[in-house]
Structure 1
């Protein structure tokens, strides 16, 4: 991201030939619907306790202190119900207050503010899945709310080697903008891999849902169900991907710091962040399962022309059937296989318009694909989506790689 954070937190032509071969290539039974990549809820807090009820410490614990948290922040984090409590209306309220009791000592002297920072490090960690919260953020210059995650090996490898996934960050001077970022070795602090979305009104005016869908080799960010950022190992410039182990969650409101700057005369206190819920869903890879891959726009399936697995066969869409030409296996190595060969971008290409063909499996990272929870069939090496060229919806439409746009000609499902 655009700030230095040394320790801070710590998203697949011939019709006659195809028909002729179909009888000898029919599978024993049609592929049934595969499990979605995102499974059922594995952890949640709905914050429905009566007003004044403290945080449920079977779910959350507190970070406490005022040492600046690696960013020259000005708040002292407490475990007091003055700073984190249920409001009796279905929300957790995290409150930042202007106060500096003598017993709240900060790295620069007496703290000027108090707030709360809740985490699940001791109560819940998970690798992969969906992490979502519905939040009404606070506002004001120098106010820095966040919903984020850190690797559970922080204590042994430190930051940024443990990895950090910022699901939601906002800084008060940019009231309409949400940021989503990852930090890791070689891409931390101001070099984090970040994306943002800006609305036409301040985020603090209403509740919004902030979420990541995290799968092996893919993290995607959403604001109110709309994707705005994605990352995969191809985005790291050769640096190490460290998002392959359990992480824990954090909710906090910071006051001041290197990135947001500091409160000024326009900043009103107290400031409150209301959290309606936090929900986590599991991840089901579907690895090794054989399935058809159906296009949303055409209703047709990714197909090997003429059911002939010749080297370099140009993949197409065709009426869905039960032949081996449409029986794709999502293998554990990230390849997508049918009739003994792999889906492949021509000549390991990464540019828009690269043909998607069938080639012998060769171990090249260019043959790694993932079908994510949003229905994008992404080539991880190119960070581009499998797309039906020119929005063709009839039999024979050819496949290519293209920038992921969210268009229906790029949306796929297991069928």
Structure 2
């Protein structure tokens, strides 16, 4: 959601081929080189929550003014059709732990826009001058509106925009959706030489023809120095680094502030038409920011041999707890996050190769996340889960699918007891 680009059409980039080549090179390197040195296990510092808004409050009440400010008026730069208001007419709590941003068709209209009397109102909220942060995990859970011309966004701008201007300040679009693509969202960066329609990004599409307006979904970025990764429901679909900028300047090295808005019309989504019903709502369950650049995402079951799930024995988070196969039961012991940092996490700990071993048969356990090679995993398109340091695959011992079967690392053979699906 650009501050002042002449156009807003993001071209999703096909990353699959590049990802496959990267994985192949990584595995080849680990097969020929000595394993990287690792440090002893040490407790990782817990992520610190720096911004939290769960939108708890009475129905009809306004957002917390200590966290959010209103950006009002129209937006001629994108040729949007709405007028952003303050107060609760277009942004209010619903009394059930949600913020609801409502786009309304106004009759009669009481505001003047760039094109004349405004036809629509909506809201745009930001944390400018209230909260900024460089690096970390930025996450929201939302249910998107539906209809031609709708343009919801969760995004960030550099806090130096007032002095250096846009796009030199940088822009990180965590999530944008346009109404004519109900099942797709986009993640994009903008900076000098890669702004507006030349922004660098990619899209994520829900499987099976699902729409983002049908249910809540979680959108996040994990931002660290020289790297930004985007995820939907814990599934990382894009990572950008300075190498992607074709020699242009990486401007994502200073604090940014957060923006939530629901635009109506504009160059990219096009205007509403006769098929668009009003009012439309962007429902926001929460916005959370932590100092962690790895995030926690949303847990998923990992199924494998015999249809069993990857499970933490007895649901214990103690260091050294066995990672095993067990009947799928939906408990937290079977909810895993595929992190943008290469980790697999459950119960606040990481899947770990015991003692950083590389030999066949080395058991896999739960341990404090510490950033070592023993906790790095790659989930491949072939349904292998590979530890690159050992150049070995996650394997069900035996092979057996009995409850309690320990998981280990073993030479990758393509056998059924080494195939896994992240659900």
- TM-score tier by shorter-chain length is 0.5 to 0.7
Tell me by how many angstroms 1:391 deviates. 3.3
Does the Cα contact within 8 Å between 1:100 and 1:114 map onto a contact in 2?
Answer: no
Kindly provide the CA deviation profile for residues 11-33 of structure 1, in whole angstroms up to 9, marking residues without a partner as x.
x79xxxx9xxxxxx999xx4423
Q: Aligned runs of 1:1-400 on 2, under 5 Å?
A: 5-6=5-6, 30-35=40-45, 39-68=47-76, 70-99=77-106, 103-199=110-206, 200-283=209-292, 299=353, 386=388, 389=391, 391=393
- Measured at CA, do residues 155 and 319 of structure 1 come closer, stay the same or move farther in structure 2, by a change above 3 Å? farther
Deviations 1:122-173 (A, max 9, x none): 2100111111111011110000000111111111111111111111111000
> For 1:239 and 1:108, how far apart are their aligned partners in 2?
35
Q: Distance in 2 between matches of 1:233 and 1:149?
A: 18
Q: CA RMSD in A?
A: 3.9
Distance between the aligned counterparts of 2:377 and 2:360, measured in 1? Answer: 18
Distance 1:134 1:186 in 2: 31
Given that 1:302 and 1:318 are in contact with CA atoms closer than 8 Å, whether structure 2 keeps it comes out as: no
Q: Counterpart in 2 of 1:353? A: none
Shift of 1:67: 3.5
Shift of 1:82: 1.1
Deviation at 1:272, TM superposition (A): 0.7
Deviation at 1:257, TM superposition (A): 0.5
The superposition leaves residues 217-272 of structure 1 with CA deviations (integer Å, 9 ceiling, x where unpaired) of 11111111111111111211221111111110000000000000110000001101
Query: TM (normalized to structure 1)?
Result: 0.65
Q: What is the SS of the residue equivalent to 1:96?
A: strand
Alpha-carbon distance, 1:387 to partner:
6.4
Quote the residue 2:311 is aligned against.
none
Would the aligned equivalents of 2:176 and 2:185 in 1 still touch at CA under 8 Å? yes
Distance 1:197 1:96 in 2: 24
Q: TM-score, normalised to structure 2's length?
A: 0.64
Question: Measured at CA, do residues 166 and 67 of structure 1 come closer, stay the same or move farther in structure 2, by a change above 3 Å?
Answer: closer
Q: Per the alignment, in what secondary structure is the counterpart of residue 65 of structure 1?
A: coil
Structure 1 residue 189: Cα displacement? 1.2
Retained in 2: the 8 A contact 1:300–1:318?
no
Cα separation, 2, equivalents of 1:236 and 1:243: 12
Indicate the SS of the match to 2:48: strand
> CA 1:243/1:301 → structure 2, altered by over 3 Å: closer, same or farther?
farther
Q: Secondary structure at the match of 1:205?
A: coil
Any gaps of 5 or more consecutive residues in structure 1?
19-24, 286-292, 304-315, 321-328, 331-335, 337-342, 344-370, 378-384, 399-406, 409-415
Cα distance change, pair 204–396 in 1 and its aligned pair in 2 (3 A): closer
Q: Specify the alignment match of 1:350 in structure 2.
A: none
CA contact (8 A) 1:301 1:318 kept: no
What SS is found at the alignment partner of 2:102? strand
CA apart distance, 1:7: 8.4
Deviation at 1:81, TM superposition (A): 0.9
CA distance in 1, matches of 2:38, 2:237: 41
Q: 1:109 to 1:100 in 2, by over 3 A?
A: farther
CA contact (8 A) 2:392 2:409 kept: no
Structure with the larger RCO, 1 or 2 (CA within 8 Å, 6+ apart):
1
